[in-house]
Amino acid sequence: MIKLLLMLLMPVINSLSHISLKYGTTRQKKISKLLFLLIGYSGFIVVTVLSTYILKFIELKSLTTVLALNYIFVLFFASVLLKEKLNLNIYIGTIFILLGVVVFNL
């Protein structure tokens, strides 16, 4: 159960790391820029360690499928936290990603 929870948490951590890096690059103050960049890169390290650990217990196919959800989480967090605008092409692409995840798991 813990391994499944960690596996599902990985795309969220990875997505928040992406958002933190983007937010950090737009900051003017050096301290806040460094803090967000550090948080972003630390998240990537955590995801790398978690994926290495989880691969001991599950197949690579399952992990790859879960990590594909990262794109959807990045879109969600970018629109909510960074107030980025999403258009029709992004929604269509998101549907294709979800369809790919479903088909890949059949």
Q: Which of 101, 77, 83 is nearest to 12 (CA)?
A: 77
Q: Are 4 and 59 in contact (CB under 8 A)?
A: no
Task: Give me the chain's average pLDDT, please.
Answer: 88
Mean pLDDT of 40-46: 95
pLDDT of residue 77: 92
Structural domain boundaries, residue 18: 2-104
Distance between CA atoms of 22 and 63, rounded to whole angstroms? 25
pLDDT of residue 27: 76
Structural domain total, the chain: 1
Please state the pTM of the whole predicted model: 0.82
Other beta carbons within 10 Å of 93:
15
pLDDT of residue 66: 84
Q: Are 27 and 36 in contact (CB under 8 A)?
A: yes
